[in-house]
Amino acid sequence: MQKSKLLYTLKLFSREELYILSDFLKSPYFVSEANQRTRSALFQYIMTYYGNWEHPDLKKEKIFKKLFPNKKMTIGKMDKLMSALLKDIHHFIYIHFNEVEEEGFQETLALIKFFKRKAEYKSLGHYLEKAKKKLAACPLRGSQYYYNHFLLSDEIVQQYLIQYNKKSKLDYQAAFRPLDAFYLLKKLEQACFLLSLHRYQKPLEMPDIMEFLDTLKPLYEKQGLLDIPLVEIYYYTYELLKDEKDGEKGYWILKELIENHKSNIPVSALKVLYGLLRNFIIKEHNDGAKHLLEELFNIHRAHLEEGYLNFDQGILPSVLKNIVTMGLRVKAYDWVFNFLKEYKHKIEGTKTPQDVFNYNLASYYFAIEKYTQAMTLLVDQYEDIYYKIAARRMELKIYYETKSELLDSKIDAFKVYVFRLSKKQILDSKRASNNHFINILRQLRNPRTIHSPERLQKLLYKIEQTALLTEKDWLLAKVRMLL
């Protein structure tokens, strides 16, 4: 049972969601009556061990004996029962997690299809008009809105074909435009996401996608699709990620565009756009725009408070690390510590949330110069490669601060580690920035450098001029302390 799909799926639910699922499983409206009571009993038994999924009483034999005390154990019967419960859970997921942005639209669409099937055209026309009004009144204009608009347009075209006469008219452009808008939004959303991944995390082959969007842009512009606010925002984001030519100016323009249309953009789309916006300003800051640090921290804190950084019920490791790093750089130590306490048990998207928490707590202790506490929290194995690299860098910095004799050998080991990482594991820019860190730390460690103001000045200039250099602020601070 412990390795079954059933248990694996149940682990993904929060307690609140499981309470709702429990009521669902008791409802004869959603669950067929045959064996319904037994499936519900199986669910309730499993839930008594919530959070203790490896308990021996969750073995199939134990559960079978509890549910069927007077029957001989048969694996087949138990497997069928588990499979039936899993199907009920899948049904629940479909109903409970099926997001519909336009309230009541799907119900109205179902009525349209019903009256069309029954050839009741008077009622059909009534509900078509009702569906139009529902969409017109919807303030949120995301890709789902345009897809719903397309579904309605398709029904209108079918009505036109069924009731065709020479006097009837159909606005063909209005019928097909929603589908074009939906397709374009989805294409742009995916292209922006992939471009962001390509620029900031992992190199990808992008020419075909970009060629397609670039070729069709004049056509979409002619059709007026670029006048749709969300399309305009995504196209501008796409252009920024493709060329990155507007720099900081592009960030402020994009931020203003999003804020101006925020009330008409669904939360799901806002999360994507704000994520792209944050990635862009992080890149600008890392490339030398240090004056953006305060803005960088403030926008992350604002998005955290507004819920745009949430992943399911918690926060992703990469987001947690970014927030902690920025908070420490602006010396908001108390805020960072309280933030970590609040999100300790809300880290999602990793098999090792405790390691993620410990690393970020180590960053906090390092920032307030409690190096022993920081070192005890670091481990060698992290699910995320960038966490592993960052932990090794922090280890080197701790050895430097504590004047450890192990520093030289640890620098050599880190150099070999970075060299062996493949291009699939790490971006070339990240490899270069880590190699520059290693080389400069070696020079900083060299006695000839330490005792020579002239060499230190040259090293300071080198650090300032090196574009791809991680831990630049820390290195600058260490050189200045020696001058």
pTM of structure: 0.69
Same domain, 418 and 453: yes
Residue 164 has what pLDDT?
59
Hunting for tokens 């038994």 — which residue is that?
45
Same domain, 425 and 477: yes
Same domain, 82 and 133: no
Q: Is the pLDDT of residue 97 over 90?
A: no
Q: How many domains does the chain have?
A: 4
Same domain, 72 and 12: yes
Kindly state whether residue 66 falls inside one of the protein's structural domains. Answer: yes
Domain end, chosen from 401, 434, 451, is at 401
Per-residue pLDDT band for 106 (boundaries 50, 70, 90) equals confident
User: What's the chain's average pLDDT?
Assistant: 87
Same domain, 391 and 412: no
Rg (CA), the chain: 29
The stretch 270-299 carries a mean pLDDT of: 87
Domain end, chosen from 37, 62, 96, is at 96
In this prediction, what percent of the chain has a pLDDT beyond 90? 38
Rounded CA gap, 360 and 367, in Å?
11
Rounded CA gap, 346 and 377, in Å?
19
Kindly state whether residue 31 falls inside one of the protein's structural domains. Answer: yes
Residues forming beta bridges with residue 347, ordered by sequence position = 315
Domain end, chosen from 401, 425, 453, is at 401
Kindly state whether residue 87 falls inside one of the protein's structural domains. Answer: yes
Kindly state whether residue 151 falls inside one of the protein's structural domains. Answer: yes
Kindly state whether residue 353 falls inside one of the protein's structural domains. Answer: yes
Same domain, 338 and 372: yes
Kindly state whether residue 280 falls inside one of the protein's structural domains. Answer: no
Q: Is the pLDDT of residue 287 over 80?
A: no
Rounded CA gap, 271 and 404, in Å?
44
Same domain, 391 and 462: no
Q: Is the dihedral of CA 82, 84, 85, 86 positive or negative?
A: positive
Q: Is the pLDDT of residue 167 over 70?
A: no
In terms of residue numbers, what domain contains 471? Answer: 405-483
Burial string for 96-121 (b: 16+ CB within 10 Å, else e) reads eeeeebbeebeebbebbeebbeeeee
> pLDDT tens digit string along 379-405?
888 888 999 999 999 999 999 999 999
Kindly state whether residue 155 falls inside one of the protein's structural domains. Answer: yes
Same domain, 80 and 127: no
Kindly state whether residue 451 falls inside one of the protein's structural domains. Answer: yes
Residue pair 58/1 in contact (Cβ under 8 Å)? The answer is: yes
